[in-house]
Structure 1
Amino acid sequence: MAKRYRPVDRDQQFLLPVSMTDWLPDDHLVWFIIEAVNRLDTTAFHRRARLGGVGRAGYDPDMLLTLLMYAMAHGQRSSRQVERLCHTDVAFRIICAGDIPDHTVLARFRQHHEQALADLLTASLVLAAELGMIRLGVVALDGTKIAANAAKDANRTEAHLRKLAEQHLAGAAATDAAEDALFGDTRGDEPPPDLRDRTNRARRIQQAIDEITARKTAAAQPSPAQQQTADAYVTALTAAATGQSAAAPPGRTPKAADPVTIAELRWQRARAAAQRSYDAWHAKAATLGRTPLGPKAIPPDEHAKVRAARTIYDTTLATAAAAAAAAAAAAGSGAGAGAANSSAENTENTETFQANLTDPQSRLLKTRNGYIQGYNCQTGVSDDQFILHADATQDPNDVQTVPISGFLWVGIGGCNGQNGGAHGMPVRSPGC
């Protein structure tokens, strides 16, 4: 029982610490986000910057990026609210160092760097998991088809709202009791002990980035079995291209096979077949002493199949050269551990779809009640309610939307590929 109330004197004056680093404790989330942005690759956010001109100095893209990441971590989507928090919230004020950007600056920055923001947020989730800030045990993934933004059955009576309020209060009390038993006197959201020390935080984050990079490099290398299958496929295709075999190897091209080599061999095979047909026509003409009936022989390099195969080979060769140049440029700029280059690892689906004239991005999706023209909205959440994935896709089922990059997702169990209950997904821990 309290003896009396504490005084509330809002006219009391006091001096703030001189250094902003003393305003918040070392285990505050803002220090982790600031350090993470300093370590991740942010070159994609600097490409649009134009320095050296006249006028007022611009805002540092790294500072604006840190501000948006911290705002997203607290569910703030409004640029105006972020600007307001920079005036009133200590953590936001620390990020911008007291130089508060206007909400229009934040909105334009987010609009101009949508893809780079998505890539960096993905890398930050991987980094958070690597540092043990997410308890990854079972991830729940579910999707639902959305065709409208409102429903009339969402209206509630006063009695129902009162019942919901009582349930919320009871749930809040139960949650507080459970968290008291679980965390004791701590909040429960503190960073791991080795990340609270400022002198150790940068080294630990860099170590995690290096481990993620090494794991990505190892995953990109084909297994011995995959390489053996690719070598056998290339050998069979070489035999077909040189005339040692009449038929090309069946099945799809192995993923471990070099696409440039495959395209070149298919071009050579098509040209050899056209050459044999061309020689046979001239041999027949020499035997008959006249031009044979039927279509005239086409020179090998002018044959439609040969020209199509040559076009594919030239395109594949140019793509490989561009990828090699991009990789060399990224290695030279030290961007090997960043997230801005992760979009280059994704391949665009070239399958032809039907387009809707009103909303070209929407798709015809099958639901329990028939087909709708809309989107498949997906959300993935970990054990501790950490949102790992949220997106609106065009895929007809949930299987196609499972993220497989990095080490966060390793498969799906019990998924029937239809709209319905959440799918439990076992996830490898960062140590796997």
Structure 2
Amino acid sequence: MTTSAREPATSEQVPLITEECPAKAPAVPPRGASPTKVFREWSPEQSALLPASKRDHLGDDHLTVFLLDLLPTLNLDPILAAYQEDRGQPPYDPRMMTVLLLYAYSQGVMSSRQIERRCREDLAFMYLAGDARPDHDTICAFRRHHLDAFKRLFLETLRIAEEAGVLKLGRIAVDGSKIRANASKHKAMSYARMPERQAALRAEIERLLTEADALDRAEDEQYGRGRRGDELPAALRDPATRRQRLREAQARVEAARKRELAATKQAHLEQIEHAQHALETEAREHARAAGEANAETTRPDPKAQRNFTDPESRIMKTADGFQQCYNAQVAVTVGTQFVVAEDVVTAANDKQQLQPMVEQVLANVDVPDGVIADSGYFSAANVQALEHRDGRPIEAHIAVERDRHGAPPTGPPRGRIPQALSPADRMRRRLRTKVGRAIYAQRKVTVEPAIGQIKGRGFRRFSLRSLIGAKGEFHLVCAVHNLVKLWRTGVVLVREPSPDREPAYA
């Protein structure tokens, strides 16, 4: 058989569609109420040629550009040192993950799932991530793994601000704010209610297990042990017996459901017992610290509460009523509003937090000229510790009590200071002077705006549970606050500027 050369296909063999599509008429722009009113042209599907660099598109004055320029000056050794294993897939660059978290918190995006979504949809996030798309599990794991390193990151912001000359320590203002924990107040129980709830749960567990056993015994008597009850002969598989079989199956399901419910209640009972034991241990430790003789027999306050979701959080009074919270403390510089010390505690009272906060300021930066605080921090011991400390004394301006709303201000004191004044009366007299009143007024324009700015960025609830998680997350939040202050102040020591382009924030 011989093969002939293929002939080119003719138009009859391969018919071509030659019908032309009609040209689309341009859309007629809408008109307003006036027949001559026109609007700007809008073409969402119009192709556009974006700049080759996302940085050029965002602009040199954008916060992401500032963070990337700042990155080489940050000491990230504590974060980098955590990666010691050579096995497995290469992780994402820790520097990228760090600036991604910093920028996300500055924009009020705390959810790891939201950060993941922004890396796909938001140009600024895409620029920081270098078009990488870390999933939310990776982001969450990175944040939780480096909680201790975020403290060092916060200190790095203070170092950079000092080197830039914008952090000049004078007086500081101290205040606290109740930040909601990642737990519901409805998952908390008081110590007095725990025994009652334990007895109710035990009775309910006993009832459920008894009912499940009764159902099992009834089926054993009817079908015999080891038989399910659905092994019916083919002759009996008719509509008359089908209903009976369904009722029997329902009884077996009900018995299994009662056992599952009993297991769930047993787990809740164990949670209550664990919380009760923790409260009793905590009460004994406090009694030993106070030097009480009968510390081993001390019992907790009946109103003491424990949360099952986040046991270390506490019920605290807020503007929205009583909520499950942590108490976030900050020390802020007067004038520049930099956070120079921060902490998260479980105590609702601020009185015991003043001296630790001042000690942290001394360790982080230097000795402040003075401390301003509201009445929640006043005690004679606090004033004594500040003004009679070894070395340079720290002048205190701490309100003794809250001013009554609408009460007229008292006039300045006259005459010499009496020698027999108590610390409280001496402080009242100091705050009534013209100078003292002016110094104390700085609190409202220093620490309160700083807390407002932190909450205004969306941080009104901790994402991480436990006291360690809350502390680590607050390190990150305060580092972001200081970096935003640096950016808005216009500081740039970040790196040597390019010869052909000077950053717009310089």
Fold shared per TM-score above 0.5: no
Structure label with greater radius of gyration? 2
